């Protein structure tokens, strides 16, 4: 098992094509705050200024990508002082139907600034130390792309697809964008100490082994002693090293992850509460219901009913 992929899958990462642009200055778009989301903007041609919620301004050149986690609002402008128009207004004025690729601009291939912008979302209730470790933004420059050829290839493929066949590219670009999110985290982790520490822990021999055991064999009745013994560490050393690497105690991580996996099973499968309880390591449905209710504020059955009701 790849623990990182298990985390991303369980948290319900979904990519969506946001829009592509053919802009000539002046332009200014305000992107609103949106919970449980992350966004990226890739400059294909020209340049763009990104003003972050904190007030910081980032200049992007052709080939650069910025990832903005945590759903923070920001603006895309041709100059930092430009007054932004809300994205909702731009979409409404364009008459966009909600299907296919949303294009801003006149489709002018010679436009000064061309971008591809993507949107990622996580399911409601998604939580993990990895998400908490994400910084305000991550930057992928041309130099960083050159050091990460797999990410560079995916970005090039996405650009080629959306600019050569925009009417039929939405599904393909959506899938590619999900890969881009994961590879961007890996490629740019050194920009954020907490993120780098968390990702490094997944690869560490002993702490990484413990995480793999918890993810692969979640149904086992793990204790601190059993995990420490399994990875060849003393109980105290294991607890200290795990907390330093992940930011929380091992058993807290295990409890939280069991709830996250349970949420995923409740919302994405037809398994009974009893089956979910067994697969996530609880000795009985009653014990599972108590733990789930304490963490989520509702019982597993009620959580499932609420999730189903939001789909109608």
Domain over 204-309 is classified CATH 1.10.10.60: yes
The secondary element (H helix, E strand) that includes residue 50 is: strand 47-51
Structure-model confidence comparison of residues 308 and 203, the more confident one: 203
H-helix segments, 1-128: 3-10, 87-94
Say what the pLDDT of residue 312 is: 43
Residue 91 has pLDDT above 90, yes or no: no
Contact partners, residue 251, CB within 8 Å, separation at least 6:
223, 224
pLDDT digits (tens, 9 = 90+) for 129-172: 999 999 999 999 999 999 999 999 999 998 888 888 777 777 78
Give the separation between CA 33 and CA 17, rounded to whole angstroms: 17
* pLDDT > 70: percent of the chain: 92
For residue 24, name the pLDDT band (cuts at 50, 70, 90): confident
Mean pLDDT to the nearest integer, 250-264? 97
Say what the pLDDT of residue 87 is: 84
Residue 92 has pLDDT above 80, yes or no: no
Q: How far is CA 116 from CA 48, 62, 180, 249, 299, in A?
A: 12, 11, 12, 40, 41
The pTM score is: 0.87
The secondary element (H helix, E strand) that includes residue 85 is: strand 85-86
Q: Computed over its alpha carbons, how large is the radius of gyration of the chain?
A: 22
Q: Estimate the share of the chain in helix, then strand, then coil, as percent rounded to the nearest 5.
A: 50, 20, 30
pLDDT digits (tens, 9 = 90+) for 35-48: 888 999 999 999 99
CB 161 within 8 A of CB 111: no
Angle between helices 193-203 and 3-10 (to 10 degrees): 120
Give the separation between CA 69 and CA 1, rounded to whole angstroms: 25
**Homologous superfamily (CATH) for 3-191:** Jelly Rolls (2.60.120.10)
Structure letter (DSSP) for residue 262: H
Residue 108 has pLDDT above 60, yes or no: no
Which range scores top for mean pLDDT: 21-30, 31-40, 111-120, 260-269?
Answer: 260-269
Q: Which of 32-46, 78-92, 282-296 shows the lowest mean pLDDT across its residues?
A: 78-92
Residue 16 has pLDDT above 90, yes or no: no
Mean pLDDT to the nearest integer, 290-294? 97
Q: What is the mean pLDDT of the chain?
A: 90
Where exactly are the structural domains of the chain?
3-191, 204-309
């Amino acid at each position: 098992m790849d623990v990182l992929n298990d985390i991303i899958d369980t948290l319900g990462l979904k990519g969506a094509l946001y829009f592509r642009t053919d802009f000539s200055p002046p332009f200014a778009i305000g992107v609103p705050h949106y919970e449980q989301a992350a966004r990226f903007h890739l400059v294909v041609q020209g340049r763009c200024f990104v003003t972050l919620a904190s007030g910081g301004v980032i200049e992007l050149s052709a080939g650069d990508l910025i990832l903005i986690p945590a759903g923070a609002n920001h603006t895309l402008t041709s100059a930092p002082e430009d007054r932004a128009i809300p994205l909702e207004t731009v979409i409404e004025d364009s008459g966009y139907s909600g299907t296919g690729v949303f294009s801003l601009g006149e489709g002018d291939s010679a436009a000064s600034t061309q971008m591809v912008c993507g949107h990622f979302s996580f399911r409601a209730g998604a939580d993990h130390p990895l998400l908490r470790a994400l910084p305000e933004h991550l930057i992928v420059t041309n130099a960083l792309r050159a050091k990460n050829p797999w990410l560079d290839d995916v970005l090039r493929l996405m650009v080629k697809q959306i600019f050569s066949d925009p009417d039929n590219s939405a599904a393909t670009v959506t899938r590619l964008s999900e890969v881009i999110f994961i590879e961007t985290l890996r490629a740019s982790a050194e920009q954020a100490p907490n993120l780098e520490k968390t990702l490094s822990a997944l690869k560490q021999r002993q702490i990484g082994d413990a995480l793999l055991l918890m993810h692969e064999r979640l149904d086992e009745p793990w204790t601190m002693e059993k995990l420490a013994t399994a990875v060849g560490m003393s109980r105290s050393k294991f607890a200290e090293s795990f907390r330093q690497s992940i930011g929380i105690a091992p058993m807290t991580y295990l409890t939280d992850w069991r709830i996250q996996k349970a949420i995923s099973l409740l919302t994405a499968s037809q398994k009974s509460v009893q089956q979910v309880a067994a697969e996530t390591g609880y000795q009985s449905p009653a014990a599972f219901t108590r733990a789930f209710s304490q963490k989520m504020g509702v019982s597993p059955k009620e959580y499932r009913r609420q999730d189903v009701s939001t789909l109608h």
